[in-house]
Amino acid sequence: MPTCTTTSASAHNAGCPVGRVALSGGKVVGFVQFGPPELFPRRLEYDCGPVSEEALFITCLFVDPGSRGVGLARSLLEQAREVARDRGYTAVETFARRGSSNNPSGPIELYEACGFHVLRDGSEFPLVRLEIGGWSRRWS
């Protein structure tokens, strides 16, 4: 089973982790990129924004097609939630794509299955949100 390992980018935010990678046999098979919203100026280009200031923002989530279906995306999302909790955020947010997985942060169906809800709708990329306290009820 692949494992998740922390990456950090101290050059961006005084050591704040900005992602996690999933490794299998020493090779990267998935990753999630996240951080404080202000690190990602393109977040302002989405119609359903803005991202909440109190939320950790996921910009990318990817799992290699050959490694899908074993829970890696859920594990990566859980680790992002843990970083958000440890850093004092109240939620995790991202722009998920409706009707297609061809999107840097992944399909809305994945996020909904993990307990996220639509915060703002009205476009192809709704803003979805997971309250930090809501995770354990869906992920026991």
Q: Which domains are delineated in the chain?
A: 32-138 (3.40.630.30)
| Edge-to-edge order in the sheet of strand 117-120 | 3-7, 19-24, 27-35, 55-63, 91-95, 127-131, 117-120
pLDDT of residue 124: 83
pTM of the shown model: 0.82
Residues 110-131 have pLDDT tens digits of 999 999 999 999 778 899 999 9
Give the pair of three-digit tokens for residue 127: 């803003």
Query: For 56-81, what is the mean pLDDT?
Result: 92
